[in-house]
Amino acid sequence: MTPAVFHILLALAGGERHGYAVMKEVLRLSDGRTRIGPGTLYGTLQRLIDTGWVVEAPRAGPRTVNGRARRYYRLTTTGRRALDDDVARLEALLRAARAIKDGPRGSRG
C-alpha cells in the first residue's frame, strides 16, 4: 500500500469526507508531515473507487460550495479491511524495528 493510499484510507476511517476535508485530515493526522495535493488525492481516490475500497457517498453535506460541486467519499468494508491489514503490518514492522534498536546492550559496536 502506498503512503498516499494509507493516508487517504486513514482519513476516511473517521467518516465520510469531501476531497478538501480528506487533504486537511491527512495533514492533521500526520502532524503536518504529509501533504497530499489535489492531483494525487483525486487520482488515488479514483483508483480506490475502481478497486472497491472507497465509494462516493450519497449526500453527506452540501453538494456545492461557492458554485463548485463537492463529492463525498467513504470507506467500504473491503477498504476498512485493507486499512486494518496495513496497520497490522506497520505495527509488526515497528515492533521489529524497536527490537533491533533496543537489542542486547553488549552487542553494540
User: 7-21: per-residue pLDDT in tens?
Assistant: 999 999 999 999 999
- Grid cell 493510499 — which residue? 5
**pLDDT > 70 in the chain, percent:** 88
- Print burial letters for 61-85: b (CB count within 10 Å at least 16), e (below 16): eeeeeeeeeeebbbbbeebeebbee
45: confidence class by pLDDT, cuts 50, 70, 90: very high
Note the maximum CA span of the chain: 66
Span 49-108, pLDDT tens digits = 999 999 999 865 566 667 777 899 999 999 999 999 999 999 999 999 999 998 876 455
**Phi, psi for residue 36 in degrees, rounded to 5:** -110, 120
For the question of whether the overall pTM of this predicted structure is more than 0.75, the answer is: yes
